[in-house]
Structure formats: structure tokens, C-alpha cells
Amino acid sequence: MKVMITGAAGFIGGFLARQCLGAGCSVLGIGLEQPEEKWNGGAFEICDVRNASHLSSLLSTFRPDRVFHLAAQSYPTVSLTQPRETLDINVGGTVNLFEGLRSAGLKPKVVVACSSAEYGPVAIQDLPVKEGHPLRPLHPYGVSKVAQDLLAAQYFSNYAFHSIRIRIFNTTGPGKLGDVCSDLTKRAVEIELGVRPPVLLVGNLTTRRALADVRDMARGLWIATEHCEAGEVYNVGGDQIYAVQEIIEAIRKDVAVPFKIEQDPALVRACDEPTIAGDTTKFRNCTGWRPEFDLANTLRDMLKWWRNRLSSTKTAQGNT
């Protein structure tokens, strides 16, 4: 079976590539740069999804049986300063993918990585949020994901593409950059290494997130192509909700050096949903998927990843 993954050099993309290779698939990953961590057995091509002709050429040559569309500008804060680029990549790239498939006469199963950011703020009584809840995104990134979502539904309705929409909730794990768990585990390891004083600077301590491990998410995306219904949308995410304070206390248990906590106003986001949690009943009933990693194991693996990364950097600097 041939699998194409757009955004394969990204965080989830790398784990998904290894998931597909482990299932015996021939994998072609595309992205803006080579993956930092290599995955053996697959091929990779530099391709910007905004380049319609290049993307179309790769599709017609490789002729995938399944496509996982993960390519995106995926940072909400970046989207506030770069809204046009965010929409060009996320919305334009999705159009280019489906039009490239149409031009090549291909109709593979297509999983489109949508986002919990589509929902925006959700009242406590509506949590965990269901797929039918109104979409009220807070930033251009969320708006772009709504557009991706609806485009996938439109290509199913108008052209009978086997498109599956997965609204991904907060996902973290070893190798993640730029989320709360990643920032906190990195700073904690820097404290261990003596790179920074024993003070953990934090933003908002009260925001709450249902967190999924990236390895569970990659497995869920793969399973979606096996069991999910074409044209449908599914929430996929963790089943436990954690406040930032709880994440910090879990990290503290696995860090050798005691530290204090101080809030840094610069780390408080201006537009941040107070609680993000999705009802994944529909996906679970359809696929039988369940998370296998709990938060303690995920954070432990993230601390280990950062120790390896930062220790090697410190050693290299010491040898110069």
C-alpha cells in the first residue's frame, strides 16, 4: 500500500510515517525541509503544498492509496502576525491537494488533520465538546482549520472523495516544540543542567487541556483510514483534562533539582481558550481506539528527550 504524508517533517508527521512503515506501507513524505529525525525505509521530497504543480506532479507519479494531510502553519500565535501566510498554506494547500488528486484521476482515502481550534471558547456545560458544536475560532489558525474541514467535506459531497476529517486535540510527546508541556519540560531540564536558575517561569496556570500522546495520535490517524466513514468528522484526543499546575507537579516528581514557580506576564497568551477537551465517543465507537500513554509516561519521555538534546548541546559548546 502506498501512503503519502504531507507535513511529514513535522511533529505528528514523523511518528505517523513510522506507524505506516511499521504496517508495511510504502511511504512518501513531503515537507519544507528534511525531517530532523530520520525514519528508515520511506522516501522524502521537499515540496511546498502552495506549489500546486509540484504537488500535482508528485501525486500523479507516486499515486498513493492513502493520503494524510498534515501540512500546515500550526501555531495560533504565529497566525495572528502572519494571517495571510497561514491561510495560504492551510487553505490553499488543501485545495491544491484535492485538485492535484482530481487532475491525476486518483481517489485515495484522505485523512485531513483538522483541529480543536475550530471550536473556539466552549462553555463549561458543553464540555467535552461534541462534533456538532458551533465553530467559533479565536484566531486565523482556527479559521484556516475550519476552512480545511469544510473543504474536505465539500470534496466528498461534490466529487465523492473518501475524505475523513479528524479534529485533533492537544497532542504532545517527545520531540514536541512550542507547546506548554514542551516548554515546561525543557525549562525543567535546563534547571537540572544548571543552564538557568531553579525558577520555572510560567504563563497561565489555570488553563486546562485534555492531552494526547503523539504515539496514540499517530495510531489513531492510521486506524481512521481502516474504520472511519467517508465524509464524516471525528474528535480525537486525550481523555484526561489537566491544568498547567498539575502538569508542573507531575514534572517536579521526575526532576532532580527543586525549583520554584513564578508567573511571567510575557508567557500569558492574549487569546487562549480556558479549557479544551473533546468528546471522542464517536471515534472510539467507530474504531475501538483508546489512549495507551498516560501523562506521567509522556512527560517522563519528554524529559528524557530534552536531557539527551540539551546535554549534547552543552557538551558540544564545552568542546569549542
Domain with CATH 3.40.50.720 in the chain: 2-172+213-236
Joined grid coordinates for residue 182: 514542551
Residue at 276: amino acid letter: I
Residues forming a β-bridge with 159:
none
What's the rounded Cα separation, in Å, for the pair 17 and 3? 9
Closest CA to 241 of 290, 274, 216: 274
What predicted TM-score, i.e. pTM, was given to this entire model? 0.93
At 158 the pLDDT is 98
- pLDDT less than 70: residues of the chain: 269-272, 313-320
Q: Which CATH superfamily groups domain 2-172+213-236?
A: NAD(P)-binding Rossmann-like Domain (3.40.50.720)
CATH 3.90.25.10 fits 180-209+239-276+293-313, yes or no: yes
| Count of Cβ atoms closer than 10 Å to residue 267 Cβ | 12
Domain with CATH 3.90.25.10 in the chain: 180-209+239-276+293-313
At 37 the pLDDT is 76
Residue at 3: amino acid letter: V
At 203 the pLDDT is 81
At 60 the pLDDT is 98
pLDDT tens track for 262-302: 988 877 766 667 889 999 999 999 999 999 999 999 999 99
pLDDT tens track for 63-97: 999 999 999 999 898 999 999 999 999 999 999 99
Average pLDDT, the chain: 94
Closest CA to 49 of 79, 89, 12: 89
What's the rounded Cα separation, in Å, for the pair 77 and 272? 10
At 318 the pLDDT is 54
What's the rounded Cα separation, in Å, for the pair 299 and 222? 24
